[in-house]
């Protein structure tokens, strides 16, 4: 049974990544018959292959072994809410790329291609000039102007047709996240069949601090009357939430884009927590000092590891949203810059 589940997962993820069995086997330096046997549940990948296999199939080893691809089978869309402040916009540079690249990469990491950006008129015009409708990197961007005084009820009414019956990932603040387990955390949140999942941290860099109780399934309880066997922790919210269909408008937003979950928790027991632990680096991006610190971090990582943070072109290619030829064309447009040369290097190395 476990082999069947693993085989089905490999087959699904292989097709999603755009590989034939032969292409995948060549990348792993094994026979295509071996891949065929895996997918039919007749054999099991050697443990030495799991790390590379998970990278090629754009997942993590844990999810692969568990056959957990449920997050891939649901229809998801993304909503990004951004408000100008302190002169910082979506086009503000964080080292070698605009801030919006970092935010859009969160959606691309989990294969969300339909994204609505709510922003100021200035950012909308700049984004349309920079990325257009997103087609060149395999996604579809929609824009809606939202000024600070706009009523939230009107906002949700205006975008209801975009949300439709889809599940929604919402980014509602400014946070740079970087870490090897980030994709896995998002995928776990997306795998839930219902409810609202808050991304949380015990780091002081969250936005709203509360106490909550949660059970072994990470279901949140708002009061202290729950049996003491449940764990009680202090947490801070990260400005990313995952909502199953129809629940987004039940949340309360204030004018600065951060929600207050207190009343929602009292009235709704369908809240869950995905907790970001050690190993995920977090930067707030609210001030120019924040931008400088984040830029220094990105520069250090990229210089020392020769891997770029939030290179959307690379992510889009690795997720099968664009072809190698399209990736090379995007790199050639920026040839002569470190960023463009990195993209071209990927094409050559692969």
Q: Is there a domain that residue 288 lies in?
A: no
Residue 59 and residue 84 in one domain: no
Helical (H) or strand (E) element with 297? helix 288-305
**Within a domain: 270:** yes
CB 171 within 8 A of CB 106: yes
pLDDT given at position 301: 92
pLDDT for the residue numbered 275 = 82
Judge if 325 and 264 occupy the same domain.
no
Of the residues 68, 88, 103, the one at which a domain ends: 68
Q: Extract the tokens encoding 165.
A: 């019956």
Residues of the chain below pLDDT 70: 1-3, 58, 60, 68-74, 147-158, 202-217, 221-235, 245-246, 248-269, 350
**Total structural domains in the chain?**
3
Q: Are residues 127 and 276 in the same domain?
A: yes
CA distances from 45 to 16, 54, 106 (A): 19, 11, 29
How crowded is the C-beta side of 70, counted as CA atoms within 13 Å? 9
Closest by CA position to 4, among listed 26, 27, 28, 37 = 37
| pLDDT recorded at residue 280 | 87
Position 178 scores a pLDDT of: 92
Distance between CA atoms of residues 341 and 166, nearest Å = 38
pLDDT of 61 reads: 75
What pLDDT shows up at residue 249? Answer: 64
Given 68, 85, 101, which residue is the final one in a domain? 68
Block residue for tokens 């290179």:
311
* Residue 133 and residue 56 share a domain: no
CB 9 within 8 Å of CB 64:
yes
Contact 276, 177 (CB under 8 A): yes
- Domain membership of residue 139 (yes or no) is yes
Q: Is residue 295 part of a domain?
A: no
Domain extent at residue 324: 311-350
Domain CATH number, residue 187:
3.90.550.10
Give yes or no: residues 85 and 200 share one domain: yes
Whether residue 334 sits in one domain with residue 318: yes
Quick check: 311 and 342 in contact, CB under 8 A?
Answer: yes
Residue 60 resides in a domain:
yes
Distance CA 112, CA 78 (A): 7
pLDDT tens digits, 263-299:
555 555 578 888 887 788 889 898 999 999 999 999 9
Q: What share of the chain is helix, strand, coil (3-state, %, to 5)?
A: 45, 20, 35
- For residues 41-63, b (16+ Cβ closer than 10 Å) or e, as one string? beeebeeeeeeebbebbbbbeeb
Picking from 37, 68, 99, the residue at the C-terminal end of a domain is: 68
SS (H, E, C) 225-268: CCCCCCEEEEEEEEEEEEECCCCHHHCCECCCCCECCHHHHHHC
Residue 291 belongs to a domain: no
Q: Which residue has the tokens 């930067």?
A: 283
Rounded percentage of the chain residues whose pLDDT exceeds 90: 21
Sign of CA dihedral 80, 86, 91, 96: negative
pLDDT at res. 3: 64
Q: In terms of domains, do 80 and 49 share one?
A: no
């Amino acid at each position: 049974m476990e082999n069947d589940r693993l085989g089905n997962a490999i087959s699904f993820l292989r097709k999603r990544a755009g590989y034939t069995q032969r292409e995948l086997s060549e990348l792993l330096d094994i026979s295509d018959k071996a891949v065929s046997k895996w997918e039919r549940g007749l054999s099991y990948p050697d443990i030495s292959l799991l790390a590379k296999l998970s990278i090629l199939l754009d997942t993590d080893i844990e999810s692969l072994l568990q056959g957990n691809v449920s997050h891939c089978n649901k229809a998801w869309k993304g909503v990004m809410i951004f408000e100008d402040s302190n002169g910082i916009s979506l086009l503000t540079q964080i080292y070698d790329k605009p801030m919006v690249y970092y935010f859009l990469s969160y959606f691309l990491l989990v294969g969300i291609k339909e994204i609505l950006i709510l922003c100021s008129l200035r950012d909308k015009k700049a984004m349309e000039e920079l990325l257009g409708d997103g087609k060149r990197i395999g996604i579809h961007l929609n824009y809606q102007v939202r000024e600070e005084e706009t009523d939230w009820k009107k906002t949700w009414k205006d975008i209801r047709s975009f949300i439709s019956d889809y599940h929604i990932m919402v980014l509602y603040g400014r946070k740079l996240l970087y870490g090897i387990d980030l994709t896995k955390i998002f995928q776990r949140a997306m795998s839930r069949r219902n409810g609202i999942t808050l991304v949380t941290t015990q780091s002081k860099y969250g936005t709203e601090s509360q106490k909550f109780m949660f059970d072994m399934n990470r279901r949140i309880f708002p009061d202290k009357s729950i049996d003491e066997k449940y764990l009680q922790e202090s947490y801070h919210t990260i400005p990313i939430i995952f909502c199953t269909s129809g629940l987004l408008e039940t949340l309360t937003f204030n004018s600065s884009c951060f929600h207050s979950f207190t009343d929602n928790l009292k009235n709704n027991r369908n809240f869950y927590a995905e907790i970001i632990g050690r190993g995920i680096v977090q930067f707030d991006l609210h001030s120019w000092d924040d931008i400088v610190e984040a830029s220094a971090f990105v520069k250090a990582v990229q210089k020392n590891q020769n891997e770029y943070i939030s290179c959307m072109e690379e992510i889009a290619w690795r997720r099968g949203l664009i072809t190698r030829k399209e990736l090379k064309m995007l790199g050639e447009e920026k040839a002569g810059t470190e960023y463009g040369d990195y993209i071209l290097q990927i094409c050559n190395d692969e």
